[in-house]
Amino acid sequence: METHHEPAPIELGMLAPEGDLPVAGQAPRRRADAQRNHERVLCTARRLFAERGPQQVSMDLIAAEAGVGKGTIFRAFGDKSGLVGTILGDDESPLQDALIRGPSPLGPGAPPLDRIIAFGEAYMAFLESHLDLLLASELGLGVRFAKGPFQLYRTHVSLLVREALGDSDVDADYTADVLLTPLAADFFAYQRRGRGRSIEELCDAYRCLAARVLSGR
């Protein structure tokens, strides 16, 4: 796995192809101890999050267990949601890859509605398995929308919406945002836990929703 970002904290872009150096030329190289700490923290955090849930794990605890100072974690990941986001990012990239290069209907080739539905279902599977982490990574208000992965999904769905609706005068960007909200962690958590919906129900409902929303006009 490529490790990300060096200078300022706050990252998890995912959009950049690979490598972890800014442009070309001479790489700013990352110091050996930094690299080691980065991995230690990530590994410790993964374990603790899995053991007791992200809400129950304080940054102090992660620092102590990983044997590093608190400042080190914050320099490397910006803040708690950055740390969670980095962990999520690793698990999320196969999906992102499948969207771009994978087989139909998730990848290119299928009609847009089918692709949107395939994406919705695939993402819901991801939601189901990473719900607590996702909830923890969206702590800030409205911050979700500014996050790296969201941009990719937004672009993806927006393109598909445009393709599906042709040159209708429907607002494609807005439609894409609306189609993404049922895939937001808090919405999904409410449906699953608050209202006791099953994943099958939610997939059905999403399929039906997408079809109606994209019914040309």
Both tokens assigned to 75: 């320099």
Nearer to DNA, 1 or 8 (CB): 8
The pair of three-digit structure tokens given for residue 189, joined into one six-digit string: 């958590």
Q: Are 189 and 135 in contact (CB under 8 A)?
A: yes
Contact mark string toward a second copy, 127..146, x via CB under 8 A: --------xx-xx-xx-xxx
Task: Check binding of 75 to DNA (CB under 7 A).
Answer: yes
Binding mask 46-65 for DNA (x = CB under 7 A): -----------xxxx--x--
Cα angle value 133/105/132 (rounded, 5°): 10
Token match 């230690």: residue?
40
Q: Note whether 128 and 134 are within 8 A (CB).
A: no
Query: Which residue in this structure is represented by tokens 């980065």?
Result: 38
Should residue 122 be labelled a site residue for a second copy when binding is judged by CB under 8 A?
Answer: no
> Alpha carbon of 72 to those of 24, 42, 45, 78: distances in Å?
27, 12, 14, 10
Of 36, 41, 8, 34, the residue nearest 22 (C-alpha): 8
Q: Which is nearer to a second copy, 74 or 187 (CB)?
A: 187
Q: How far apart are CA 2 and CA 52, in angstroms?
A: 27
- Binding residues among 25-64 for a second copy as defined by CB under 8 A: none
Q: Figure out which of the listed residues 76, 95, 135, 202 binds DNA, where binding follows CB under 7 A.
A: 76
Interface region with a second copy, contact rule CB under 8 A, candidates 4-12, 60-68, 86-94, 183-191:
183-191
| 30 touches DNA (CB under 7 A) | yes
Q: What does the binding site for DNA look like in residue numbers (CB under 7 A)?
A: 6, 28-34, 37-38, 57-60, 63, 67-72, 74-76, 79-81
Q: What does the binding site for a second copy look like in residue numbers (CB under 8 A)?
A: 135-136, 138-139, 141-142, 144-146, 170-171, 173-175, 177-178, 181-182, 184-187, 189-191, 194-195, 197, 201-202, 204-205, 208-209, 212-215, 217
